[in-house]
Amino acid sequence: MANNHIQVNDLGLKDYKESWAYQESLFKNILDCKVKNRREGTALQTPNYFLLVEHPHVYTLGKSGDLSNLLVSEEKLAEIGATFHKINRGGDITYHGPGQVVGYPILDLENFFTDIHKYLRLLEEMVILTLAEYGLKAERSKGETGVWLDVGTPFARKICAMGVRASRWVTMHGFALNVNTDLGYFDHMIPCGIKGKSVTSLNVELGKPQLAMEEVKEKLLKHFTVLFEAELIEMHKTQVV
């Protein structure tokens, strides 16, 4: 029997490596449950999770990414207070930092639908609908995963990056929406390996110094719930490792 309940946990500001390890533990938990069901012929429901987090300054490179898209040395990384990790998601290089809403849905897609393309498009739609509530017309850019503004013009700019990993229909990693992000950190890389296009943030687009992060998170979760026909439940903070 499919389980459309998703346990949501807001980790606050948390180190990238620690968050990655926590993701991996939840991911493994779902996979182990699926393996047990198939081996023993049982029908235990598999859990689903959705982590929300902000990270200290960090650059991450996907498994098919090009290291040359990171434009600074290890010494410069230390100088700007940033770290770097090669990770196991798809996509190229991206940046995470304070003022950015990062979301990691760790789902068993067999509880919803078995279509990775649809999964990515729904995550994009969640962001597009959220930005529409702030009066912004966001859209997809053909062949470029994520959410953009002014697609097809010389002013095209990315506001949300995405990169996921999936195994046996279980997902991890996810999206990073720039809300109050220090965009200067994007100057130290070629974002997602795409040359000639800029990045932006919600507060810059609205001309405001700061936006309420909690409000943005609530809107994202609201649209996620509708798009995935899911029911969200809150996890206890004590479950974080």
Binding residues for substrate: 89-96, 161-163, 174-176
71 CB-side CA count, 13 A: 13
List, as one string, the DSSP characters of 89-102.
SSSSEEEE-TTEEE
**Where on the phi/psi map is residue 235: left (φ > 0), alpha (ψ -120 to 50), or beta?**
beta
Catalytic residue from among 192, 199, 213, 220: 192
Say if residue 237 is exposed, middle or buried (CB neighbours under 10 Å; 0-12, 13-18, 19+): exposed
Q: Diameter of the chain by CA atoms?
A: 57
Residue (of 115, 116, 126) closest to 232 by Cα position: 126
| Known catalytic residue at 33 | no
Residue found by looking up tokens 């995963």 in the block: 145
Q: CA 163 → CA 14, 144, 168, 231, 239, distances in Å?
A: 19, 11, 17, 24, 25
Tokens of 53: 């987090």
Q: Which positions are annotated as active-site residues?
A: 192
